[in-house]
Chains A and B, each alone.
Chain A
Amino acid sequence: MGIAMAWPPRDEPSETVRGKGRYVVGRSARLGIFSSLLAVAVGLVVFVSMAYLRSEPPTLDFAAGHSQGQAVDMTLQTVGAIGFGTHPSWVSYLTQAPDGKWVHTTLWDLPANTRVNVTIDQYDSGSALRNPQVGAVYGTLGNAATLNGKPFSLIDATKGNGVGHTFSIPTLGINVPLYGVNGNAKNFCNSAPCTLSEAHNTVEFSFMTPKTTGQYGWQCFVPCGGGYVYGNGGPMQTISFMDGFLKVVS
């Protein structure tokens, strides 16, 4: 052989290389062990993603059986403490399903390009606003809304009971402040679902759903996530409490 390069690999295996004899179990058993480990891992992944990551509150269907040009009616309530579930002390919205039951959700299927008549029964006490700009009503049909039957367009949150929550769809430019109830009222509602015999304010307004289908987020702009810096943690960042989606379908 001429001048050799450094590399031609030498093929002979090392004598001391760990032979098969070292294994406690045979080859097919090892294959079995490996495959079952793999199966466990796959199962775990599927379970975590389906049962946990993909879990979300139910979506109420306001689009089913809807005929063109007909308005959709929707009733919501806001409550100071939901009273059940994993976060009983959090503030929350609830939605009344078409069958009249109160459901702890903020997800709705809505038909596109349709008038939605919203009624919100507001059972929570109020406070001032970090940004008083959200005390104004805008983006609703006629920029109008009523509080206990009387039209209003702006709430001065430093007066009276302040603002409890807002109903806002930032991407559609819709904002409605919800006047607070007196926190010391005798019949103050402490857990959901609240009933009309308890202290509340009723706010009504209408808006048009957009023509393009898709999911539009909505939220509250009152920093009502108690116990968190800036009041914007917890319920303010959790779907089915102070955030939700309009799932606009055709």
Chain B
Amino acid sequence: MSDQQATVSRTAGGPNHGARLAVAWLVISAIVDPLFWFAAGPHMPPGDMTSSASGAQFDFNVLMMAALPVTLGVWLYFGYAIVNWRASKGGSDLIGGPKARGNMKIQTAWIASTTIVVLSAFVFGTVELIVPAGAGGGEGPQPIWTPTSKTVLPIQVIGQQWKFTYRYPTYGGFETDTLMVPNNTTIAFHVTSLDVIHDFWAYQLGVKADANPQQDNVAFTTTHALGKVTVRCDELCGIWHGAMFNYGHVVSKTTFQQWASSNETQLAAVTKLLPPFSWTYTADANGADGVYYPDNVDKYSKIQVYGAQPVSVAQAVKPTS
């Protein structure tokens, strides 16, 4: 999309509009691109606390390198046209005719250059998706792009109307309201829901994955830096969707160990009441009164009617920590 101005000038045979535009465009691009890359780029969201966050930031900045010249080039062209080619400036030369209706060279150049830009964006995006193991996005229950790291800490994220809780299967499966993540560790977030669809968005971690009922949606990332993490629900889930946020922390490995083992013991009594750890749970789609679906027979005792049943405990093999 970028070099057509130059072509225009040559073929349309104008004085030197095309050359002027091309030079101005090159100058602007040469200034704006490095300026953005070096001055703004390192501050672009979502930061660089994790591999996926810095990956997203890098991708964003690379796309910007193409987007800025294209946008500014088009605006430049329109601005130039508006200033220079006004009817009020008079002139009686005829501007119509077959020549004004199209020009094979320009059209071909346009199509070719946009195609090249688009295909490069695709190749780049695909590499950036596959190499860093899904780039922090939800990869479904059987991710095909997995991290190279041998030790992966699994953390289960459970969405429910209206909060997130986190289960740590490698620490006895305790469940808490706070997200704690060790530094310099590859994490596998297993995101699921007990009711409607939610979405786990850990902004600074560069992780986002939908929480679907009965689905295990896995997202990987590797932490690089300590700090606070904002978690927000990113899929509309009802009245408190806007208030469905909390904060997590990336802490040192030892702090994490201490936190996790003390929680494991302190919460042991609660953990005993929880359904055995599983990658997904089947909630009864009826509520406490058990009457939405009229065919609801007493499969469980009355009191367990909507207890979250694990789908398959067998799947809950303990990954290495």
A and B touch in the complex (CB under 8 A): yes
Q: Which residues of A contact B (CB under 8 A)?
A: 2-3, 5, 7, 127-133, 135-136, 138, 153-154, 156-159, 162, 170-171, 173, 217, 219, 221-232, 236-239, 243
Give the distance to chain A from B193, nearest Cβ to Cβ, in Å. Answer: 10
- A128 contacts B87, C-beta separation under 8 Å: no
8 pairs, CB–CB < 8 Å, chain A vs chain B? A127-B303, A133-B165, A154-B270, A171-B245, A223-B195, A228-B292, A230-B194, A230-B285
The docked-state distance in angstroms from the alpha carbon of A184 to that of B307 is 22
On chain B, the residues within 8 Å of A173 by CB distance are 177-178
Interface string of B158-182 (1 = CB under 8 A from A): 1011110100000000010110000
B169-204: which residues lie under 8 A (CB-CB) from chain A?
A: 175, 177-178, 194-196
The docked-state distance in angstroms from the alpha carbon of A186 to that of B216 is 45
**Residue B36 CB within 8 A of the other chain:** no
A154-B273, A227-B289, A231-B289 in contact; A130/B160 too (CB < 8 A)? Answer: yes
- A223 contacts B304, C-beta separation under 8 Å: no
A-contacting 9-mer, from B3-11, B40-48, B236-244, B253-261:
B236-244
- B288 contacts A224, C-beta separation under 8 Å: yes
- B287 contacts A223, C-beta separation under 8 Å: yes
- A154 contacts B292, C-beta separation under 8 Å: no
- B195 contacts A128, C-beta separation under 8 Å: no
B122-164: which residues lie under 8 A (CB-CB) from chain A?
A: 158, 160-163
On chain B, the residues within 8 Å of A236 by CB distance are 161
**Residue B100 CB within 8 A of the other chain:** no
On chain B, the residues within 8 Å of A219 by CB distance are 162, 240
- B243 contacts A170, C-beta separation under 8 Å: yes
Across the interface, name the chain B residue whose C-beta is closest to A163: B288
- B92 contacts A170, C-beta separation under 8 Å: no
- B308 contacts A227, C-beta separation under 8 Å: no
List the 8 shortest-distance A-B pairs measured between CB atoms, nearest first: A231-B287, A226-B289, A223-B287, A230-B195, A132-B273, A237-B239, A127-B288, A170-B163
On chain A, the residues within 8 Å of B76 by CB distance are none
- A127 contacts B94, C-beta separation under 8 Å: no
On chain B, the residues within 8 Å of A3 by CB distance are 92, 94
On chain A, the residues within 8 Å of B303 by CB distance are 127-128, 157-159, 162
Most chain A beta-carbon neighbours within 10 Å: one of B178, B284, B303, B305: B303
Other-chain contact of A223, B87, B245, B302, B306 (Cβ < 8 Å): B306
Give the distance to chain B from A96, nearest Cβ to Cβ, in Å. Answer: 24
Across the interface, name the chain A residue whose C-beta is closest to B158: A131
- A7 contacts B87, C-beta separation under 8 Å: yes
- B274 contacts A132, C-beta separation under 8 Å: yes
- A156 contacts B273, C-beta separation under 8 Å: yes
The docked-state distance in angstroms from the alpha carbon of A157 to that of B245 is 27
B194-246: which residues lie under 8 A (CB-CB) from chain A?
A: 194-196, 238-240, 243-246
Give the distance to chain B from A130, nearest Cβ to Cβ, in Å. Answer: 5
The docked-state distance in angstroms from the alpha carbon of A231 to that of B293 is 11
Across the interface, name the chain A residue whose C-beta is closest to B164: A170
- A171 contacts B269, C-beta separation under 8 Å: no
Give the distance to chain B from A185, nearest Cβ to Cβ, in Å. Answer: 16
On chain B, the residues within 8 Å of A158 by CB distance are 273, 301, 303-304, 307
- B285 contacts A133, C-beta separation under 8 Å: no
The docked-state distance in angstroms from the alpha carbon of A159 to that of B175 is 21
**Residue B291 CB within 8 A of the other chain:** yes
Give the distance to chain B from A159, nearest Cβ to Cβ, in Å. Answer: 8
Across the interface, name the chain A residue whose C-beta is closest to B163: A170
**Residue B64 CB within 8 A of the other chain:** no
- B246 contacts A231, C-beta separation under 8 Å: no
**Residue B19 CB within 8 A of the other chain:** no
Other-chain contact of A170, B162, B267, B286, B291 (Cβ < 8 Å): B162
